[in-house]
Structure 1
Amino acid sequence: MFLTKDEVTELTGYQKPSAQIRWLQAQQFGFVVGGDGVPKVLRQVVLSRLGDQTAQKKSPELRLK
């Protein structure tokens, strides 16, 4: 569901939550700040932003001519 603290650190390049929040805002990644002050990032947000093929697949649509 959410990235781990280590994954957020790897994504942002920062260890301090305040710096991670600034980076996430600058890059326009959606996140929420938990009660512990640490940003929570949905794994699906990152996968879709970074080009995960399964996140971009659309269901087939029937076209009638």
Structure 2
Amino acid sequence: MFLTAEEVADLTGYKKPGAQIKWLTAERYGFAVGGDGHPKVLRQVVIGRLGGIQSRKGPELRLG
């Protein structure tokens, strides 16, 4: 669901949460800040931004 702390560091190039948040904001990646002060980035957001295709792992809600 969310990138690991190591994956966020790989994506941003920074280890410190403040620098990660600054980079994510500048690059317009959606994220939330957790209670621990670290940015939480959805894996699906990154895959979508980079043009990848994610395999479906479970049931999804279908409307209509």
TM-score (norm 2): 0.82
Name structure 1 gaps, 5 residues minimum.
56-65
Quick one: which amino acid aligns to residue 9 of structure 1?
A
Q: Which has the larger radius of gyration?
A: 1
- 1:49 shift after superposition: 0.1
- 1:54 shift after superposition: 4.5
Name structure 2 gaps, 5 residues minimum.
56-64
Alignment of 1:25 with 2:25, yes or no, is yes
Identity of aligned residues (%): 65
Of Structure 1 and Structure 2, the greater helix share is in 1
What secondary structure does 2:46 align onto? helix
Structure 1 segments, 4+ long, off by >2 Å, are none
Residue deviations 1:9-46 (CA, integer Å, cap 9, x gap):
00000000000000000000000000000000000000
Quick one: which amino acid aligns to residue 28 of structure 1?
R
Aligned residues: 55
Q: RMSD of aligned C-alpha atoms?
A: 1.3
1:12-51 superposed matches below 5 A: 12-51=12-51
